Structure formats: C-alpha cells, structure tokens
Amino acid sequence: MQTQYWQRMLIGLGLALTLAAPWASATNYYVVTSSQQPSPTPPWTNWGWAHTNLIEVIAAARNDDTVYVTNNAVYKLTNQITVSYAITVRSWGPDGIMDPTNTILVGNYPTTTNRHFQLNNSGATLAGFTLTNGWGAPDTNTVSGGSIYLQSGIVTNCIIMRNYALCTNTLYMSYGGGGILMDGSGNGGVWNCTISSNVVGRNGGGIFIKSGGSWRIANCTISGNSTTAGAGGGIVAWSSSSAAPVISNCWVVSNYANSYGGGIYISYSTEFRHSLIMGNTVDLYEGGGVRMNGSSLLRNCLVVNNLAKSTHGGGIYINNEASIQNCTIASNSTGSSGSSGGLRFAGTGGNIGHPNIENTIIWGNSGGSGVSNLSIYATNSTESCVAFTNVCTSPIIVTNCASWVNTITSDPRFVSAATADFRLQSDSPCINAGVNRAWMEGALDYYGYRRIDNFRRTVDIGAYEYLGKGTLFRVH
C-alpha cells in the first residue's frame, strides 16, 4: 500500500511540475548600449550581464520571455527584427516604468534600408519605444510598413515618427503604411501610441490595414503623416475580412493625402468610433477628412476644419452603404473648384448602395462652388438611396435619391465654432431631438458623457450630449 501511495504522489508531483513548467521557464533578458556595457556576457539575464545587440537577444527569447531595454539610449538597427514568439519587448525607465521618449530605436535610413520590426505572433508585445528613421523595404508580396510590419501582435505606448515607405507600385490598394502595415491572418492592434510625420508612397501615411483578423486601434494620436501618391493621409483600413477592424478614441489631425481621404480612408466593414478628425487635407480628389466606402461606419466622431482642395467633400465623401451616426460635421471646406464643404454623397447605378446618416449635425461648412453643407450625386434618380434620419442641416435636398425624416434646418447653436467648441448651447434645437438606438445603452458621447442619461432618456443630435449646469445628487 505504501508503494502505491508514493507512486501516486510522484505521479502527482510530476504532473504539477509539467503544468508549472511554462511559468518556471520564463526568462528576463536585458539590453543596454555598448558604451554602458563593454563586455556583454551570456546569457544576458541581468543588468550586469546585459547584451548590447537587441537582435541577438530577441532571437534567443522564447514564449513568455521578456526583453528589457534600458532608457536614455539610442540604438541603431542595421536589420529588421522579427518577433515570432509570444515575448514582450519593452523599455525600462526609472523604477521600471516604460520610457518611450528616451528609448529610441533608429532604422538608420538612408545608410541602411530596413524597417524596425516584423511581429507575427499573437502573444508578441512591443511597448514603450520611439521608432524613427525606418524604411519599408520590399518583401515578396508587399512594399509597406516603414517602421512595423504587424502580422499579429500588439504595439503599445510607442512613438512612431519620421519613417518612410516610398513605394510607387501601380497595384493601388496593395501597398502602404508609412508607419505601420497591419496585414496577416492573425490579430492584435495598436494602442496608446503617437504616430506622426511618417511618409508613404501609396496608402496610409500613418497606418495601413490591408487585411487580417480583428485589428484594433485605440487611444492613438495620428498626426502630420502624408502620402505622395495615394489615399488616407492618416489611416487606410482596406481589410475585407469578416472580422472588421475597429478604430476608436483616436485623434486624426493635420494629415495629408495626395488622392483620397486626407485624414482617413475606410472601406468594407471598418468601424471608426469616438474620434476627432480635424485639420486634414486632400489634394486631388475627395474627402478632406474622411473617404468612406462599402458598409463602413463612422460613429460619435467630430469631423471639423478639414479641406478638400480640388473637388468634393471637405468633411466627408461617402458612397455605397456606409453609415454615419451621431457625428458633428462642421467648419470643413473645399477649394474654389470644389463643392460640398460638409458631406458629399455620390454613386452610379446599382453601385449607389443605401447609406444611412442619422443623429448627425452637418452645419457651418463652406464649398467653393457655393454648396456649403451637403450635396447628393447619383445617376439613378429613381432609387431612394440615402436615408437622413434626425439630421440637422440646411437646405434639405429634394431628390428621389434621398429620404428625410425629422430634419432640423435651424442653427444647432454651437458653443463657439470660432474656437472649435462644437458642444451644444442650452437652447439648441438638437437637444433631445435624436432617435434612440440599441447601441447607445451604456455608450458615451465624444466628450465622455452618457448617450442615454437617467433623466431625459432621449439622445441628442451630434457628437455631444448636452449637460446642463447644476449639481447632480446620488440618492441611496
């Protein structure tokens, strides 16, 4: 009996050790500059033995390992770093916190031509770096991603700036991503990052989502990026996957596109939520702020002060079945030869689609040809193709290609359009004038207030909910 007892104990102990093995085997690696460590010693598992070659350390790491890179340092890369395991690569600042501002990885362009990273594992995380001067070198099937080629994994708390992917291939939507290319069968996202001053030859000056799984971009500032011959100065989301990309809580500001969508170009089922799209410019074609195709969705967004220099849709250009919900589209403009400072809808024949615009303010925009807020163009005038529900704009465009329900044509009464304060004054006709939808329960407006409050229980029109002055008490 004692023999059987000890056999069972040993078997149980072996099982416990087997289950614990992945945790027990996790290793921390450390990286410093060559000036800080003249004699790196394998296995590089403490600061005294830290390595100076980030590429070699990441090549040695395996699942669940962490690579710490010390701050107050500049690291020059001569090759792309590929992360194929579920490891974390992060900066180490004072008290172990991340320090992206002072932990700088340089791609060394034009001396060498390489991006910084390729991530292709869903458990891979890159956190807390400045990534600059990378180059999106040609691959077998793509020329994109000036700094990062993200096939799967997470990029967070990074500054991705002044990287380049100057491809000019004629396959229009196959190339892009001055800062980041997201393209693969995996999933992941980009969170809490600043993506600025990157340049691309084709599409997505900041980010290009080409294809893949459930990509997420959240809490990012995407500013000052540009295309030299393509679309989406800030972002292009072209993914046709059934798992639609979701972009939320971002600022897309002061980007430039040569062709379509100065700020963003979204297509298929991409959702763009709760974001600011401001001060972007498109040069040759449509959509100073946004160009929308397919069944894409724009919700809870503020689209202001964008410019279409040559044609239409200073704020937004839309076709197919795209939808706009609870947005404010104001103070956008076109050049002297353009029209529709606010919103332009266009389609031809069976390609018109059935877009829906609801609970949205389109006001105070200006078009070069005199069309200020809105225009509708379609060759098939017998099809009622655009549905406007509880919208505030003027004038109402009477056409067989549009239906209007509960339209407000009077001034929405912004707090101050001159200072870009597009909240509603207390006497705004847009207060309690929207139509409630299921998605609003528990949702917040652009400013962070509840869409459906406990008192009025009716949504406002526009990106903001009105919050009256006074004190709120909670009764227990």
Return the sign of the alpha-carbon dihedral for residues 43, 47, 52, 57: positive
Judge contact between 316 and 343, C-beta under 8 A: yes
Amino acid found at 155: V
Residue pLDDT, tens place only, 148-190: 999 999 999 999 999 998 865 555 556 889 999 998 766 799 9
pLDDT at 27: 96
Give the CATH architecture of domain 27-405: 3 Solenoid (2.160)
pLDDT at 143: 66
Neighbours of 457 (CB within 10 A): 9
> Range with the lowest mean pLDDT among 110-114, 254-258, 325-329, 389-393?
110-114
pLDDT averaged over every residue in the chain? 87
pLDDT at 4: 42
pLDDT at 10: 34
Strand partners, 190: 155, 217
Q: In percent, how much of the chain has pLDDT > 90?
A: 66
Tell me the backbone φ, ψ of residue 30, rounded to 5 degrees: -135, 140
Cα–chain center distance at 429: 32
The domain limits of the chain are: 27-405
> Range with the lowest mean pLDDT among 11-25, 303-317, 351-365?
11-25
